Amino acid sequence: MKVTQVYQAKAKKIGVTLQPSKDKDKKFAVFKDGKFQTNIGASGYKDFESYKKIDTETALARREAYRSRHAKDLKIKYRDGKLTAGYLANKILW
């Protein structure tokens, strides 16, 4: 998946950079200070920006559903010294 300016801007706010993932099942690889953190976003699924192109109301409902489904994962920012995929996906994709 192409890293658009919207995703780059969200990533920059939290101090990370994005590249297309080498893992065919993921959208983005996340780096902090040049060090790989994790891959985020399943490549067959839409995220907030994708849904927003279709309908803003649907996008907001999907965001709420995602956040309630992953509530416990979103609170964990670091694990083993790296940013967690759940935290990053919430901040960048949703």
Q: Mean pLDDT of residues grouped by 10 in the chain (94 residues)?
A: 88 96 96 97 94 95 96 89 94 95
pLDDT of residue 74: 85
pLDDT of residue 3: 83
Spatial separation of the C-alpha atoms in residues 54 and 63, rounded to whole Å? 14
Q: Which helix (H) or strand (E) holds 37?
A: strand 35-42
Q: Which residue has the tokens 């953190």?
A: 37
Phi, psi of 86 (to 5 degrees): -60, -45
Q: How far is CA 84 from CA 39, 52, 81, in A?
A: 9, 25, 9
- What are the strands, taking DSSP E only, across the chain? 17-20, 26-32, 35-42, 78-79, 82-83
pTM score: 0.89
Spatial separation of the C-alpha atoms in residues 90 and 75, rounded to whole Å? 10
